[in-house]
Structure 1
C-alpha cells in the first residue's frame, strides 16, 4: 500500500493501472489495494480519485479555500469565461470538431485567441485534420481536461438528454442549449 501511495503522491498526473502493476506486481488485486488506501485516507484532507484512466491523490474540495489562501490568488485556478466554457463544452461533446463547426453551433465567431487560451491551460489539443476543404484543424479534449474535471473517461460527461429533461438545457434541434446568433444571452 505504501508503495502505491508514494507513487501517487509523487506523480503530477493520474497514474495508470500498468504503472501501478509494475510497482506491486501483476498478481496483486490492485482495485482492492486502492480501496484499502482510500479507506485509510477517509479522514485525511486528500483522497484517491479516478481521473483520466488512472488514479491520483487530490485534495478534498472542502480545503480549497485554505489552499487558495496559502498559495495566493495568483496561483488559484482561473475560472473559465462563459465563452471559454461554451467552446470547451462543445469540444468535449462533439470532438473532434473544427473551429468553424463550433462557430456554426454558437452562431458567432470563435477566435483563435480563445482556442489558444484553452490550449495553454492544457484543456484541449489539436486533433486530426478535418476532411473538409482546406483540411482545418480539429480540437479534442486532453487527459488534463479529464483530470481537471474529475472524469475518468469522456463517458463520464453528463448525459445531454438527461440534462434537457431536467430543464438544465433548452432543447433546440442540433443545439446544446446555447443561444443562437442574434439571441440575447442570459
Structure 2
C-alpha cells in the first residue's frame, strides 16, 4: 500500500536571505497562494508561509501598493483575503462573458430580505414578515440558505421557540464585505418604505397570519422594491 504523500517542508524563516530579499519572497508567497485559491484565504493559512517575525498586515499593504495600477486588487472579505477585479472593469468583464462562476441570481425581494437579516440578526421569519408587512415564506428562506447566504441561529425566546436566521461568511464573501459594518446604510431601506425597525419592535404588532404556510405571492411586488436590485452590484 502506498504511503500518503506528506506535505512539503517549507522554509518559513528564509534566514539565509538578506532582509529585503526575504520580505519580497514572503510577499510573493502570500500573493501566489491567494491568487491560486478559489476561496478567500485566512490569516491562519497565510501565517504558515512566512517567518515568525513577519507582519502579515504590512505584507498585504505592500502587495496592494504594487497592485495600485492593476485592474485587480487584494481585498478583505469576511476576514480573509482574495483577489478581486476593480469595479471600474465590471462592464468589460460582463461583456466578455468569461466569468468563471456566475453568482446566484437574487430577486429584489430576496436581496432586501437578505439585507434585513444582515441588519437585525438573529431574526425569526415571523419578525421578518412583520417588517415587510407580508409573509416571508419558508421557500424564500430556503433559497437563501441553499445559496449559502443564510444559516440557522439560536432559538428565539418567543413562544414556540422559533428558529432565528443569521448571515454566513459566504454572504460577506459573495458581496465583498469585510464585516457587517459594510452593509448599505439602513436609512436606504427605511426611506424607501421597505421596512421599519420601529415597526418590528412595536409591541402591539400582530403576528402575520399564515406563519407556517408556503409562499403565495411573495415576489409579485418586485417592481416596488427594485431600488435594491443593484444594491450589491460591482
C-alpha displacement of 1:143: 0.7
Q: For the structure 1 residues 32 and 40, does the alpha-carbon distance in structure 2 shift closer, same or farther, using more than 3 Å as the test?
A: same
Are positions 1:126 and 2:152 aligned together? yes
Are positions 1:48 and 2:50 aligned together? no
Q: Distance in 1 between matches of 2:168 and 2:150?
A: 5
Counterpart position of 1:107: 133
Counterpart position of 1:34: 60
Which entry has the higher C-alpha Rg, 1 or 2? 2
Q: Distance in 2 between matches of 1:11 and 1:33?
A: 18
CA contact (8 A) 2:104 2:147 kept: no
Are positions 1:95 and 2:95 aligned together? no
**Counterpart pick for 2:198 among 151, 174, 177:** 174
Q: Distance in 2 between matches of 1:46 and 1:173?
A: 38
**Counterpart pick for 2:178 among 123, 143, 152:** 152
Q: Distance in 2 between matches of 1:107 and 1:116?
A: 20
CA RMSD of aligned residues (A): 2.8
Counterpart position of 1:13: 39
**Given the two structures, how large is their TM-score scaled by the length of structure 2?**
0.65
Structure 2: tracts of 5 or more residues without a match = 1-26, 201-207, 209-220, 226-234
Query: 1:16-61 CA distances to partner (integer Å, 9 max, x unpaired)?
Result: 2222112113311211111111122222222100110121111122
Q: Distance in 2 between matches of 1:133 and 1:172?
A: 23
Q: Distance in 1 between matches of 2:88 and 2:143?
A: 28
